[in-house]
Amino acid sequence: MPKKYYITTPLYYVNAKPHIGHAYTNILCDAFARFHRFLGNDVFFMTGTDEHGSKIEKTAREQGMEPQEYVDKIVPHFKELWSSLGIQHDYFIRTTDEQHKKVVQNILRDLEKRGEIYKDTYEGWYSIKSETFYSESELVEGRCPDTGGEVQKIQEENYFFKMSKYQDWLIETIQKNPTFIQPEMRKNEILGFLKQPLEDLCITRPKDRLKWGIPYPGSEEHVIYVWFDALINYVSGIGYGVDENKFNSLWPADLHVVGKDILRHHAVYWPIMLKACGIELPKTVLAHGWWTLSGGKISKSSGNSVDPVELIEKYGVDAFRYFLLNEVTVGLDGAYSEDLLRERYRTDLANDLGNLWSRSSSMLGKYFEGKVPSPSESVSDEALMKMTYDLYDKVVSSMEKNNPREALASVWEVMRKSNQFIEEKKPWALSKDESKRQELADVLFVLLDCLAHIACLLQAFLPNSSKEILGRLKLSGVEQIKTVGDYKKVFVEVGGEVDKGEALFPKLEDEA
Ligand code: MSP
């Protein structure tokens, strides 16, 4: 039976075009999802949009539109971007979907029945930017601690979710499940936050202040707090209370990937909401860092947004994906610079991978008329072949630790060794000596075999170039490689013709 793997991204607010930070989360999830498909797992990858709340309502009104009309106009742009970045999600959820709204309301009715909700007067500081209430002590110099934006003092009647009573349970749960919050430093941050008394969560907004939300089932005058609504997507999207078979086959989620700024919502509010409903917790919440520019978080509101579409037009999807996945270890911040991206393009992609392909395929053309030569039996003793065979377990183990950067580093080590192998073996010299014909054949066979294995393993990371390489090598049926045994059985066919093709990573236009 294949293992199921349910992975989610956060739902993106639709009040601005997606930037590099949003693209990062989805590329990261896409690489995990593709890799699990490669391993033969039953993957369900869900992404989507967060469409309620005051920010969206405000942006819609500023543009002279009704909120529903506005979100319907924007959502296709998100879908287009994900498709141009090669994101292969299985389901796109919108918080304005009827099924989602129904599940949210049912969950609230259930929580009320369970005695988890009460009505009270609320007084606190509200930040429109982060759609979150803060207590006086949480403010930083009188401003929102997360966005630095303005806050307003607000007093109103609302419904509250009894979160505080679960504080000890949550601390114990986090401590007992060391992989629940990753990476470790973020887990410690949440445990640090939980040292302060946890307050109950205000889960409604009065309609006179905000109309654009899911109506609260118990009151004509309230809509549901956007975060409470949005978090429920992770269960509503797979049919909680609607399609029990589907839900039971996918829940608990294997991985929720989120940015560090929304970890508290996912590692405190969400597990408590689930516990209160009697639903199992997700296995892991993985928080990544921020892409920064001149030291500040890249965001539309800071005016330093970096447009992924422009970058993929210039450098291609694979280079953009490679840069994001390779530049930082998941969890840490990454300083974005286009120069750095160009540098990776030139060195890692054009030099290491592109040249390895073009040198190997050119020599094959020159010395063997482009046909894979027959190797000698001892070819598998070659150190480089052994290294290539060991790569599968290494990459799998890195991906199990949610560390694509480490996975890529192992692949690149073999790639660089392969380039060195060419220097050491000097095929051009071997070609001049007829008695060295078998040695020459072995060298080329080893190179092609390494390239075949590298391309198999890179499918989750660089989907286009790896597909191209596999196609040129005429290798098919390698989209899924479930075991190291199957991986070792991948062979380029002796006598098969290899297409050299165009450069995989051509010189950049402005440098050509
Ligand atoms: N709508 C909420 C999430 C609800 S999930 C139930 C939200 N949306 S968001 O559009 O503001 O952010 C979505 C994701 O993008 C977050 O994980 C956030 O961390 C990420 N990023 C936004 N800017 C970023 C960077 N500059 N760098 C990396 N990721 C960042 O929050």
Q: Output the pTM of the full model.
A: 0.94
> Looking at residues 275-284, what average pLDDT do you find?
98
- Tell the residue nearest (CA) to atom 17 of ligand 1: 259
Q: Is the CB of 458 under 6 A from ligand 1?
A: no
Q: Indicate the helix (H) or strand (E) that contains 192.
A: helix 184-193
Tens digit of pLDDT for each residue in 139-198? Answer: 999 999 988 999 999 889 999 999 999 999 999 999 999 999 999 999 999 999 999 999
Strand arrangement, sheet containing 296-297: 296-297, 291-293, 334-335
Give dist(CA 454, CA 391) in Å, integer. 8
CA of 227 to the centre of ligand 1 (A): 13
Q: Is the CB of 28 under 6 A from ligand 1?
A: no
Tens digit of pLDDT for each residue in 303-341? Answer: 777 889 999 999 999 999 999 999 999 999 999 999 999
Q: Where are the alpha helices (DSSP H) in 369-462?
A: 383-400, 404-425, 427-430, 437-457
Q: Is the CB of 394 under 6 A from ligand 1?
A: no
At 489, is the pLDDT very low, low, confident or very high (cuts 50, 70, 90)? very high
Tens digit of pLDDT for each residue in 257-270? Answer: 999 999 999 999 99
Strand ranges inside 213-297, DSSP E: 222-224, 255-259, 285-288, 291-293, 296-297
Q: Pocket of ligand 1, candidates 14, 26, 50, 299: which has the most ligand atoms within 8 Å of its Cβ, to mutate?
A: 50
Q: Characterize 164-203 residue by residue with b for buried, 16 or more Cβ atoms within 10 angstroms of its Cβ, and e for exposed.
A: eebbeebeeebeeeeebbbbeebbebbeeebeeebebbbb
Sequence-distant (6+) residues with CB within 8 A of 391 are 410, 411, 414, 453, 454, 457
> Looking at residues 413-438, what average pLDDT do you find?
97
Give dist(CA 192, CA 184) in Å, integer. 12
**Residue 159: both structure tokens together:** 């419904």
Cis peptide bond N-terminal to 183, omega within 30: yes
- For residue 56, what pLDDT is reported? 93
pLDDT above 70 for 25: yes
Summary count for the chain: helices (H), strands (E): 21, 15
CA of 12 to the centre of ligand 1 (A): 6
Give dist(CA 232, CA 43) in Å, integer. 20
- Look-up of token digits 């995990």: 32
> Looking at residues 418-428, what average pLDDT do you find?
98
Tens digit of pLDDT for each residue in 356-377? Answer: 999 999 999 999 999 999 999 9
Give dist(CA 475, CA 496) in Å, integer. 10
Closest CA to 13 of 83, 82, 95: 95
Q: Is the CB of 230 under 6 A from ligand 1?
A: yes
Question: How many CB atoms are located within 10 Å of the residue 113 CB?
Answer: 9
- For residue 227, what pLDDT is reported? 96
Q: Pocket of ligand 1, candidates 14, 15, 24, 25: which has the most ligand atoms within 8 Å of its Cβ, to mutate?
A: 25
- Tell the residue nearest (CA) to atom 18 of ligand 1: 259
> Is the CB of residue 446 less than 8 Å from the CB of residue 379?
yes
> Is the CB of residue 189 less than 8 Å from the CB of residue 222?
no
- For residue 512, what pLDDT is reported? 65
Helix 67-84 vs helix 54-62: angle between axes, to the nearest 10 degrees? Answer: 100
> Looking at residues 74-93, what average pLDDT do you find?
96
Give dist(CA 78, CA 241) in Å, integer. 28
pLDDT above 90 for 132: no
Closest CA to 273 of 237, 228, 243, 234: 228
Give dist(CA 231, CA 265) in Å, integer. 8
**36 alpha carbon, distance to own chain's centre:** 13
Strand partners, 5: 43
Sequence-distant (6+) residues with CB within 8 A of 169 are 275
Question: How many CB atoms are located within 10 Å of the residue 377 CB?
Answer: 6
> Looking at residues 485-510, what average pLDDT do you find?
94
Q: Is the CB of 291 under 6 A from ligand 1?
A: yes
CA of 285 to the centre of ligand 1 (A): 14
Strand, helix or coil at 402?
coil
Length of the chain: 512
List domains and CATH numbers for the chain.
Answer: 337-488 (1.10.730.10)
- Tell the residue nearest (CA) to atom 25 of ligand 1: 21
Q: Pocket of ligand 1, candidates 107, 290, 328: which has the most ligand atoms within 8 Å of its Cβ, to mutate?
A: 290
Give dist(CA 262, CA 254) in Å, integer. 18
- For residue 124, what pLDDT is reported? 86
Strand, helix or coil at 448?
helix
At 292, is the pLDDT very low, low, confident or very high (cuts 50, 70, 90)? very high
Q: Is the CB of 21 under 6 A from ligand 1?
A: yes
- Tell the residue nearest (CA) to atom 30 of ligand 1: 21
Proportion of the chain above pLDDT 90, given as a percent: 89
Give dist(CA 413, CA 457) in Å, integer. 13
**Residue 92: both structure tokens together:** 């796109």
Alpha-carbon distances, residue 394 vs 33, 298, 438 (angstroms): 18, 33, 31
- Tell the residue nearest (CA) to atom 8 of ligand 1: 12
Q: Pocket of ligand 1, candidates 22, 264, 286: which has the most ligand atoms within 8 Å of its Cβ, to mutate?
A: 22
pLDDT above 70 for 385: yes
Q: Is the CB of 12 under 6 A from ligand 1?
A: yes
**Residue 473: both structure tokens together:** 């090598």
Strand ranges inside 231-343, DSSP E: 255-259, 285-288, 291-293, 296-297, 334-335
